[in-house]
Amino acid sequence: MKVLIIMGSESDKPVMEESQKHLQYFGIDNEMIVASAHRNPDKVRELCITAQEKGFGVIIAAAGMAAALPGVVSAYTSLPVLGVPLDGGLPGGIDALYSIVQMPAGLPVGTLAVGKAGARNAAVLAARILALGNKEIAAKVEAFKQNGYRI
């Protein structure tokens, strides 16, 4: 299974490349796509409703400010959605954090820390999810743990 990384803006790429680096360490194929819930809602919808049939098992969605993207992604898929709040609005990305963590019942988004730490942890959490059905990923998750949670 692969991981789909969706971010709201091209400017989010330097942060979300942290997710890619960690996913590559775990041997997990991934694809990173820019698609804004506000600017490209039809693209977001299409990505989400076709993700599972394209072999994706987890979606990481990153957004700043209003941070609607992770919630919209959750509305369009049954896959696990991991939200990464990004800095860009209020100091420390607190607006994005609140937007992502305050999802209505039934539309879960696993919310991580703001910024690069959250991007890294989203990849690690995705690896742990996929490890449940993949012994090779499980072995790499264990090696990561034994290495002090470092790649």
Q: What is the pLDDT of residues 77-90, one digit of tens each?
A: 999 999 999 998 78
Q: Does domain 2-147 have CATH number 3.40.50.1970?
A: yes
In 91-144, the DSSP E strands lie at 110-111
Each residue of 4-55: pLDDT tens digit? 999 999 999 999 999 999 999 999 999 999 999 999 999 999 999 999 999 9
pTM of the model as a whole: 0.96
How many other CB atoms are there within 10 angstroms of residue 8's CB atom? 27
Q: Domain ranges for the chain, please list them.
A: 2-147
pLDDT at 108 over 90: yes
**pLDDT for the residue numbered 90:** 82
Answer yes or no: is 150 a known binding residue: no
Answer yes or no: is 39 a known binding residue: yes
